[in-house]
Amino acid sequence: MTKVRLEFRNVAKRFPAQRKSGDIVTAVEHLDFALAEGEVVSIIGPSGCGKSTLLNMGSGLDPASSGEVFVDGEKVVKPNEHVAFMLQKDLLLPWRTIRENVEIGLEIRGVSAREREPISLSLLKRCRLGDFVNHYPHQLSGGMRQRAALARTLAVDPAVLLLDEPFSALDAQTKMVLQQDLGQMLGETGKTALFVTHDLVEAIALSDRVLVMSQRPGRIVKEIVIDIPDRPNPMERRKSPKVGPYVADLMSLLHIDEAVV
């Protein structure tokens, strides 16, 4: 039986409104889904539908208002060391070298310098940054910094990766290169990943499944299984004639075609 890594059970998140009426804003509700070990699932939906809120609850940074979130069968009640978060910004510390940035999570966990170094060097080599381990963030391009952020995310050996539009600020060519790097590394390591994106082709290229969310309060309105071979190889997936129909289906679900008209 396949192990469930991440699970949302009837989860809702409510926030107090920032006005005198005291109305409650429901960001998401009735979230029920799970990710199996090694599965990559993308979340798409309109702006403000609660995608990032969902990731915050999955990481334990923000508790659910109702329902439950589980990682490896354990209820998430606080930040979970088995979950790693990668954001839109690389958030590298400018006074630390790239290697030192990659090692920061291990350092916080009390891993010795002698044990940290081979882990960081191996990951930086896999992320094609082996020649830049002693450089500082300002000496690297945006794409290289995001590769370093990916290496930092993987360094703590998480069971689950939560990725919040990590490539959205990059140019199209660099984004495709980073998608390829991420896809291959997820395939090689067998990591489970929940990926938030607004890029429909990116979601199709990287994922086993795509979950479509509604307008706020965000709910899962459709699950689409991506039946294209070569999931660890986004570049090859992009060439599939099935990509176009999947994009059209997602556009229809998001009412993008109506918005354009």
The SS3 assignment for 230 reads coil
**What CATH number does domain 4-82+159-260 carry, 3.30.2130.10, 3.20.20.80, 3.40.50.300, 3.40.50.150?**
3.40.50.300
Report strand pairing: 24-36 vs 40-44. unpaired
Tallying the residues shown for the chain, one arrives at: 261
For residue 43, pLDDT beyond 70: yes
Which residue, 197, 193, 191, 167, is CA-closest to 51? 197
Residues of the chain by 3-state class (helix, strand, coil), percent to 5: 35, 25, 40
Residue 214 binned pLDDT confidence (cut-offs 50, 70, 90): very high
Domain locations in the chain? Answer: 4-82+159-260, 91-157
- pLDDT by residue (tens digit) across 92-142? 999 999 999 999 999 999 999 999 999 999 999 988 899 999 999 999 999
Which residue, 60, 49, 65, 75, is CA-closest to 196? 49
Handedness of CA 67, 69, 72, 78 (dihedral sign): negative
Beta bridge partners of 43: 196, 211
The structure's pTM equals 0.90
Beta bridge partners of 160: 83, 192
- Report the range of poorest mean pLDDT among 68-77, 99-108, 182-191: 182-191
The CA distances from residue 129 to 47, 118, 151, 167, in Å, are 34, 14, 10, 17
